[in-house]
Amino acid sequence: MSPIKHYVDGKAWEGTSTATQPVLNPSTGQEQAEVLLASKDDVDAVIASAEKAQPGWAAQNPQKRVRVIMEWIRLIHKNMDELAETLSLQHGKTFEDAKGDVQRGVDVLEFCLGAPHQLKGEYSTGVGRGIDTYSLRQPLGVVAGITPFNFPAMIPLWKAGPALASGNAFVLKPSERDPSVPVRLAELFLEAGGPEGVFNVVHGGKDAVDAILDSDTIRAVGFVGSTPIAQYIYTRCAETGKRAQCFGGAKNHAIVLPDADIDATADALVGAAFGSAGERCMALSVVVPVGQETADRLREALKERIPSLKVGHSLDPEADYGPLVTQDAKDRVERLIGEGVDAGADLVCDGRELDMSSAEFKGDSLAEGFFSGPSFFDHVTPDMSIYTEEIFGPVLAMVRAETLEEAISYPNDHVYGNGVAIFTQQGGAARDFATAINVGMVGINVPIPVPIAYHTFGGWKASGFGDLNQHGPDAFRFYTKTKTVTSRWPDDSSTGPQFTMPVMN
C-alpha cells in the first residue's frame, strides 16, 4: 500500500519523517491507505519551497494568474467524479454530497476570476499642490491554510483560491483523515499552468501545525475546526505577528413561528440536521418552535420523517447519509445521546438502535462502519450537554419557546454564533429577526444559510476569531496588504526645510 505523500514543488514528496497515520474507509471501518506525517523540518522545507516560488508568481499580472485559475476550474469539473468518489470513500459523505463539497469550492474559484478588479487600488490626484496619493494592494507572501476533515475540497479551495489569485504562495495542511482530495487539487493546479512550489500540501498533526505557526515566513493563517484549536491558533498568530482567520464550532438554531408551513419546514430540518451525518459546521442541530401547538405539530411531522431516512455506504445512491468519520466520532455522538437521556430529555427517535451488523454494499460488509442513525430529542433545556455542546453528528434537539422573544434568546445567549434560520410567512417578523439576532449568518426560510461566493462566510462569538471572513471581498482583503503612496515630483518652487506637520492645502 503506497502511502499518501506530501505535494511539494509540483511532485509527490516523502519528506524525512517516516511517521504515518491510517486513512480509513468510514463505511467499512477498514484501512484503505496511510498518510505520511511531516516533522518540523519537513514543514520548514515545504515553506522554503513556497517562499522561493512566490515572487515569480506575484510578478505575473492578476489577469495571467486568473487564466490559470480559469483552467483549474475546468480541470476540476473534468475530474469531478473522481474527486467526489475519493472524497466519499475517505470522509463518508454520499457521492452527490461530495460533488456539492467540490462545487462549493469551485464557486469561490469562480469569484476569484474577478481578482484584477478586487486588487485594484485607489487614486486621488491633486490632494495638494502637485501632490497625488494612491494605494496598492500587494500579496502578503507565503500564507497557510489548516483545514478540517468535513469539507476536504470546499474549505481548501476557499482558502487557496483568493490567496493564489492575490499573488501569494499557499501552503495547505489538510486533515490527515481524508488527505487525498487536497493533494489532487494541488496536482490539478499545476496541470492548469500554476508554477511549481506555489501550491504545496503537507500532511501532519500538531507538530506540523506548530511548525506553521512558528514560521517567520508564513504571514497569514486560515483555519477551520474546533473552537479550542481556533482560539489556540488565533492566539499563537497574534504572538508571532501573523494575520489569522480562525473559525470554530457551532450550534445552529432554527426558529419556527406558528404560521410556518410545517411540512416544508420539517423537510428542510431533516435535510439540514442529518445531511452528511450532521458533520457540517452549518448543520441545524436545534429547532425552537414558538408555541406548544407549533411544537406538537412539528414533532409529529419530524417523527414521521426521521425513521424513514436510509443510512448506508457513502457510494450507495439510495443512502440519505453515510457514516461518521471515525469510531471516536461515533462514540462521542452516542455518549452525548446518553447524557441527553440521563438529563431528562425526551428521545423521540434513538439512532443508537441502528443495526448494520448484516448490511452490505457491493460485497463489502458494513458491520464495522461508523454508522449512527438519526436521533431526535424533544423537551431539551439549555442546561443539557446536548444543547450546550456541538455534537457534530445526526442529532436534532427541540427546545420549546412560548414567544418569539424567548426563541431569539436561545441563539443570542449561546456561546456559538455561526448560523441561524427562521421559518415564517411574516415578512416583518423575519426582517426584525435578521436585525436582532446575534449570529453571523442568517437564513429566512433557508435552512443552511451558507452565503454565495461573492458574499462573505463567517460566524460570530466563539464560532469565529479574526477581523475578516472567508471568501467574497473579505478574502482579498485578508490575503493582501495595502500600501499608500503620496508623491510629488520636484519643481523649482522649493521653500526649504519644513518642521511642522504637513497639511494638504
Query: What is the rounded CA–CA span in Å between residue 485 and residue 259?
Result: 57
Identify the pLDDT of residue 492: 62
Identify the pLDDT of residue 505: 63
Query: What is the rounded CA–CA span in Å between residue 231 and residue 246?
Result: 8
Q: Is 325 helix (H, G, I), strand (E, B) or coil?
A: coil
Query: Residue 84 phi/psi, 5° resolution?
Result: -65, -40
CB 382 within 8 A of CB 399: yes
What average pLDDT score do residues 378-393 get? 98
Domains by residue range for the chain, with CATH: 3-248+463-485 (3.40.605.10), 252-444 (3.40.309.10)
With cell 490626484, the residue in question is 125
pLDDT at 482 > cutoff 70:
yes
What average pLDDT score do residues 388-404 get? 98
What average pLDDT score do residues 158-178 get? 98
Name the band, by pLDDT with cuts 50, 70 and 90, for residue 178: very high
281 as an active site residue: the answer is yes
pLDDT tens sequence across 219-250: 999 999 999 999 999 999 999 999 999 999 99
With cell 458533520, the residue in question is 279
What average pLDDT score do residues 310-329 get? 98
Round the average pLDDT of the chain to a whole number and report it.
96
Q: Which residue has the higher pLDDT, 491 or 447?
A: 447
CB 46 within 8 A of CB 172: no
Identify the pLDDT of residue 494: 64
CB 55 within 8 A of CB 139: no
Using only the alpha carbons of the chain, give its radius of gyration: 25
Name the band, by pLDDT with cuts 50, 70 and 90, for residue 497: confident
In 3D space, the residue among 435, 94, 415, 125 whose CA is nearest the CA of residue 275 turns out to be: 94
Query: What is the rounded CA–CA span in Å between residue 253 and residue 406?
Result: 13
> What percentage of the chain carries pLDDT values higher than 70?
99
Q: Which position among 237, 246, 281, 349 bears the catalytic label?
A: 281
Q: Say if residue 341 is exposed, middle or buried (CB neighbours under 10 Å; 0-12, 13-18, 19+).
A: middle
Identify the pLDDT of residue 487: 94
Measured between alpha carbons, how far is residue 302 from residues 267, 377, 378, 496 in Å? 8, 10, 11, 81
pLDDT tens sequence across 25-51: 999 999 999 999 999 999 999 999 999
CB 248 within 8 A of CB 227: yes
Identify the pLDDT of residue 430: 96
Which letter does DSSP use for residue 452 in this model? P
Query: What is the rounded CA–CA span in Å between residue 372 and residue 403?
Result: 34
Residue 480 region, left (φ>0) first, then alpha (ψ -120 to 50), else beta? beta
Name the band, by pLDDT with cuts 50, 70 and 90, for residue 500: confident
pLDDT at 488 > cutoff 80:
yes
In 3D space, the residue among 171, 197, 166 whose CA is nearest the CA of residue 61 turns out to be: 166
pLDDT at 504 > cutoff 80:
no
pLDDT at 89 > cutoff 80:
yes
What average pLDDT score do residues 284-292 get? 98
What average pLDDT score do residues 398-416 get? 98
Query: What is the rounded CA–CA span in Å between residue 344 and residue 64?
Result: 61
pLDDT at 257 > cutoff 90:
yes
pLDDT at 416 > cutoff 70:
yes
Identify the pLDDT of residue 252: 98
Query: What is the rounded CA–CA span in Å between residue 454 and residue 88?
Result: 27
Name the band, by pLDDT with cuts 50, 70 and 90, for residue 336: very high
The model's pTM: 0.96
CB 376 within 8 A of CB 341: no
Name the band, by pLDDT with cuts 50, 70 and 90, for residue 123: very high
pLDDT tens sequence across 339-364: 999 999 999 999 999 999 999 999 99
pLDDT at 156 > cutoff 70:
yes
pLDDT at 413 > cutoff 70:
yes
In 3D space, the residue among 417, 425, 386, 434 whose CA is nearest the CA of residue 286 turns out to be: 386
H or E segment and range at residue 13: strand 11-13
